[in-house]
Structures are given as structure tokens and as C-alpha cells.
Amino acid sequence: SAVISQKPSRDICQRGTSLTIQCQVDSQVTMMFWYRQQPGQSLTLIATANQGSEATYESGFVIDKFPISRPNLTFSTLTVSNMSPEDSSIYLCSVLPGAEAFFGQGTRLTVV
């Protein structure tokens, strides 16, 4: 299993600013994932973050908008850059220590 601590749990931000979300895992994991969950919607994968290499982004998501860092095997950050109201969403990090995916509690972002 894995315990994930995600910060902040929520934030209200002004449009045009950036927010960095942190994800800390209690064990070393090779792959970390960042998801977006828009209100009442399913989870959409933003990118996969591997330690020591650039993140792999899914279609519709770009590094300039969602830069990701993965400095070690237990930590990652996702930055939401130049925010607009359309970025209001829940952002979740996830890890796969085995076959099961574990999720952080999410960061509820509101852009005003």
C-alpha cells in the first residue's frame, strides 16, 4: 500500500497566477501520476512523472501549462500555470506501488 500526502488541500487563486501542488508518498515508487477531476466528472490523466526523466503528457495537456517536477522517488509537484477559471478543478496525484493505484486526497482549485 501507499499513503499519499497532497498539499494544499484547497486554494482560491487569481486568474493569471500559478499554483504548485505537492505530492509526498511514504514509500519509493517508480511512477507517479497526475489527474484532473472536473466537477461531477471522471478522472483525466494529465501526465506520468518518472524520476530522472521528463514527464509524459497526455493529449490536450502541455508542459508549459502543467510543468511537473520529480526530484526523487517519493515526491512530485504539479504546477498549474497562468490559471484561468477553466482550470478550476480537483487535481489528484496517484502512485502504483504494485497493481493497485493509490490516490492523494486531492487539491480543490478555484480560479477567480
Partner 1 sequence: QQQVKQSPQSLIVQKGGISIINCAYENTAFDYFPWYQQFPGKGPALLIAIRPDVSEKKEGRFTISFNKSAKQFSLHIMDSQPGDSATYFCAASPSGNQFYFGTGTSLTVIP
- Scanning residues 40 to 99, which ones bind partner 1 (CB under 8 A)? 40-43, 45, 48, 92, 94, 96, 98-99
How many C-beta atoms surround the C-beta of residue 68 within 10 A? 23
Residue 16 and residue 112 in contact, taking contact as beta carbons nearer than 8 Å = no
Instruction: Name the minimum Å distance from CB 109 to partner 1.
Output: 13
Phi, psi of 18 (to 5 degrees): -125, 150
Amino acid 19 reads L
Q: Which of 29, 106, 109, 111 binds partner 1 (CB under 8 A)?
A: 106
Q: Which residues bind partner 1 (CB under 8 A)?
A: 4, 6, 31, 33, 40-43, 45, 48, 92, 94, 96, 98-106, 108
